[in-house]
Structure 1
């Protein structure tokens, strides 16, 4: 008479022979249903004779899986569960090496469950230490068993990524590359969590270096989700390198993909994360501000940007800019935005210089009105960085911390600010050090940055 174990193995063999990815996925999931999960957990350990009908590389997958079910349903041991599912995923990677993409559903589901078990483990028993980094471990020949759980997770997902990337099947419809963005998105995200950005860059470099066809970023729903994840973290890499043009391009692509979803409310958090970077980025790159409906839909972004930093930039108010930058610095650091926000300060300087120039030009109408003394900007910088608000009006504080001559900004510092604005083509003109002035272009001294 057939036993439940024998029936399970027969069903599994049938799915493998028929290359039924969804059926096989259900054979190795930790969530087959409460009654089925408990039943599988109490299967006796299969013998080599029991497993013999299965293809050789799949035997270790099933052995690891049944061990995993005991850890989950009987032992209720999260540490053992993580190790067992990680072992099963490693065996599955080896088995999948000779298969077409029919096996992708099982790979994706097992990877998702591996990540979920890791997250549960971290909530209950977080790693005491992260251990050595993956690249250092590999160089020193250390065993992976001494690494943190997150590093084990990274190593396993990286193997799945390489398995997908290196599939030489020229037909993308049958290649494991068809779901590469799932593994790529998760892997880069894990490397960010590890703080190993160089490893994330190496993965992206490997992707760009492949000679095989890759699926479109705006493919099926399962591809879209992870393509957006990949584009987001790839944009963070560009952001850290101060490649603001490339960063904007990647985030715009991510937004284009998100806009293809029929239910935008489902991706509201993902949209806000992207806009958190894209809004100040577009202001810096092109001086473009979002439509008012964006501020209405995302009040948190309105609070961080429109009502604070952007208002300070519009006024040329350096003191307020510094106050708000400090107020939100933890958010900016966490989102890799600090360097970009620091660069935005140049727009605050620009607005202050522009307003000062207009005032001086109005006061000195004539052939030399385009020649502005540096001392005028020195006064403006002094006020903008040190003003206080008294009864609704602005005033300068006491002279604490000022330099010789009564100003906290040397003329050399003023020259430096102007030179940077000229170099970045925000101002047209030149600084005359000997005459202590700036000679602005008579036509379009402050070109539109759009």
Structure 2
């Protein structure tokens, strides 16, 4: 394929197109196929050669694809993106014109996959994180617009028979959009996509590899929305079903978010499991959390701050502080061995554990919040400045993992 001639390439794609072989056509129109290594495809006047062999609209698709290859070879990713967007827009019209057939879905998926990759490589992708709301769309946003247009066509195809409906292409497009929206920090745009997929009667019958990716991103979004039960369910599904040649790396990526979620629900990871997936930075956090040691918790966050920020879990780990305080105050109550514990005693415990500048009022607030969220069963007697805890089950278990 690296030395394939233009004539041979055109005859291959013509044959596949006439046979309605969507997978083969998709490969021949992808920037990841070996034909891209050939230097014989984008010579002078290749547009005329394409039009002589192929009919419309296939000729226009191939010409746009070869222009993309030419610009990618020249490392001109901005112009490559322009051509790939035009390719996607043309394909939208073709796809919309097809009634009761979906053999082109593999082509659509390849176009969108390549579109996102090219957009990532384009020079202004970094601007997506710092641009103002009224500035020009970034490369990734342009790509997302084209992908969204295809998504609307697929979602609207409700009259075709199940085997022929374009709705089978929805999840692949949603996953590409998720990858873009997470990259440019537009997570609010994920919500209508999730609703659209959950409303589909096909939602459990999409290809497993697509469902895994979908669950991974839905789990991450739920984590950021503090919906930890949903996050745990989705990320656990993705972790348990991830099985490919890159399985270990995929599982590690999933665990980066699943571990903090599990800790929120009271499940502490084992050192062995974290070592297996090279995530030992979480062990120091979990160990400090389990025993309620504020100083060790702060040191662990400080030590691995960069790692946690890059992976996007730093702020989530910061939210674990209330569980940290709950575990510390539980130990304090057990040591004090009474159902009435002075707030000053709790303040002293917090100061000893590492929260040195905490005052009595702030201790009151922390205890009140723990009572409000159900992590402590009891009440504060402001008159006597004491916490009165229930005689039984004063500190309800966060999960079955807690002894």
Q: CA deviation at 1:178?
A: 2.3
Instruction: Report which stretch shifted further, 435-444 or 236-245.
Output: 236-245
Return the offset for 1:379. Answer: 1.6
For residues 57 and 131 of structure 2, the distance between their equivalents in structure 1, rounded to whole angstroms, comes to: 30
Give 1:347's match in structure 2, choosing from 320, 323, 326. 323
| 1:46 matched to 2:54 | no
Q: What SS does the corresponding residue of 2:391 show, helix, strand or coil? A: coil
Superposed CA deviations along residues 295-352 of structure 1, whole A, max 9, x for unmatched, are 23123x22x222x212222332212222222333343344342343223111221122
Change in 2 beyond 3 A, CA 1:238/1:226: same
1:130-279 equivalence runs, <5 A: 130=128, 147-208=137-198, 210=199, 212-216=200-204, 219=206, 223-258=207-242, 261=243, 263=244, 266-279=246-259
Deviation of residue 96 (structure 1)? Answer: 2.0
> In the TM superposition, what is the alpha-carbon distance from 1:432 to its structure 2 partner?
0.6
Cα-to-partner distance string for 1:277-296 (whole Å, 9 max, x where unaligned): 212212222x2223454123
Question: Do the aligned residues in 2 keep the contact of 1:172 with 1:213 (CA within 8 Å)?
Answer: no
Give the TM-score normalised by structure 1. 0.76
SS of the residue corresponding to residue 319 of structure 2 reads helix
Kept in 1: contact 2:248–2:277 (CA 8 A): no
| Other-structure match for 2:333 | 357
Residue matched to 2:85: 86
Residues 36-89 of structure 1, C-alpha deviation per residue, up to 9 Å, x if partnerless? 9434323642389747x73x544432332343344456x664433332222222
Q: 1:445 aligns with which of 372, 386, 394?
A: 394
Of 245, 248, 262, the match for 1:282: 262
Q: Which structure 2 residue ranges, 5 or more long, are not aligned?
A: none
* Distance (Å, rounded) in 2 between the aligned partners of 1:147 and 1:448: 49
2:105 aligns to what? 104
Q: Who wins on radius of gyration, i.e. which is larger?
A: 1
Question: What RMSD, in angstroms, separates the aligned Cα atoms of the two structures?
Answer: 3.2
Cα drift, residue 236 of structure 1: 2.5
Q: Do 1:132 and 1:147's aligned partners in 2 also have CA atoms closer than 8 Å?
A: no
Task: Give the match's secondary structure for 2:48.
Answer: coil
Residue 354 of structure 1 deviates from its aligned partner by 1.4
How many Å separate the matches in 1 of 2:299 and 2:133?
A: 40
Mapped partners of 1:351, 1:29: distance in 2: 54
TM-score normalised to structure 2 length: 0.84
Note if contact 1:431-1:438 (Cα within 8 Å) is conserved in structure 2: yes
**Counterpart residue number, 1:424:** 373
Alignment partner of 1:173: what SS? helix
**Residues 169 and 200 of structure 1: is their aligned pair in 2 closer, same or farther, counting only changes over 3 Å?**
same
Q: Matched residue of 2:148: which SS? A: helix
TM-fit CA distance, 1:433 = 0.6
SS of the equivalent of 1:358 reads helix
Aligned to 2:346: 377
| Pairwise CA distance, 1:438 | 1.4
Q: Secondary structure at the match of 2:81?
A: helix
Deviation at 1:434, TM superposition (A): 0.5
Take 2:177 and 2:8, find their aligned partners in 1: how far apart are those partners?
A: 36
Aligned to 1:62: 62
Task: Provide, for residues 104-162 of structure 1, a one-character-per-residue CA deviation record: whole Å limited to 9, x for no partner.
Answer: 2222223333333334x44xx4557449979858xxxxxxxx53322222222222332
- Counterpart among 292, 295, 298 of residue 319 in structure 1: 295
Give the Cα–Cα distance (whole angstroms) in 2 for the partners of residues 116 and 157 of structure 1: 13
SS of residue paired to 2:269: coil
